[in-house]
Structure 1
Amino acid sequence: MISGKKLVISALVLALVQIGFLSWIIAGRAAILRNGKEVLLKIEPVDPRDLLRGDYIILGYEISRLPVKLIANIAAGQTTSDTTPIVVRLKPGADGYWHATTAWFGKAPTPAAADEADIVGQVAPGWTLDPESTIAPQYGIDRFYLPEGQGMAIQNDMRVRPFGVRIALAANGEAQIKALMDGDKTMFEEPLY
């Protein structure tokens, strides 16, 4: 049998491990928001409501539908995608938004230049790699939670004028949403913690 003292010590150690793990996750996200390279992506409206989770908007991006012809390293004879990471190189356009210029399965062969940024996503298996088709990578930045009651109004506004999301990119290409933008105006900014 375990003595009472050992049980208390075990419970304390377990609690410290859990707190440490949660702190590590939060600190990692905050580090990206604080130190990551900022890019602005144009968003497209999608259904904003979930009765169980509250008000949020689901975000679609131009880079969420990539033409297969942008992928520079498709292996000869490969006709469908595997579960694999994809690196998408972004560059700012004349409109102020960042756009995909090229992509690679796995890793980029060269680092991004000073006026470029790489975002890493995940491609599900089974996408056709025909040069005339598109694939849909997931970047982990597809939801933005809003104050209660504001989701539908913003969703309707997104249909009539341009909105964007300012994201922060870590050196490894991991993305975090930093702010929701209505044109040049910051509507909501994510807190670090």
Structure 2
Amino acid sequence: MLNFVVGPLGRVPGVAWRRALNTQRRMADYSLYYFPTPNGKKISMMMEEIGQDYDLKWIHIGKNMQFSDEFVKVNPNSKIPAIVDHTRDDMAIFESGAILEYLAEKHDPKLAGGEEIEQRYKVKEWLHWQIAGFGPMLGQNNFFHLYSKVDDPIGKERYLKESLRLFGVLDKQLSENKYICGDELTIADIACYWWSYSPS
């Protein structure tokens, strides 16, 4: 559960979780370095799903806060999201997929596929599918269609075509299953949700 927002007060776009702004409390078990991108939202969604307290550390990427000395100590690659686990001597973890796997393993192994190796690797397949293809291709599609200052018809066509193909793969999988990997919610669903929801 989100406890405290470090950064601009008020509504954080795209996040609908509780905000208790009480500074006179114990430190949460986790700090989440966050900006409301699909990758950032994956981790806040996961924290809510597993019911963990966390402090939200606002990293405004439009203002280059990800290059600050403080954040580079947490993630040398200067990308959000990242977490710090205060229950493990302030261990820092970056990359959204690694964070999802860590939190599932620590708090709810069923979200990573449970005890059966076949199911665990099915979840890993789809998690890596999102990380390696679905997210990056949709990100490029969004860039060329929404943010690029130069009209690039080749880039637009390439990434739109690949994004549509990937949506077809996901749509087929979901037509055969309640969730991506079967009957239960997993980190594969959490990874894909915000990219499916984002404009493209």
Shorter-normalised TM-score: what interval? under 0.3
- TM-score, scaled relative to structure 2: 0.23
Greater strand proportion = 1
Greater gyration radius: 1
Greater helix proportion = 2
- TM-score, scaled relative to structure 1: 0.23
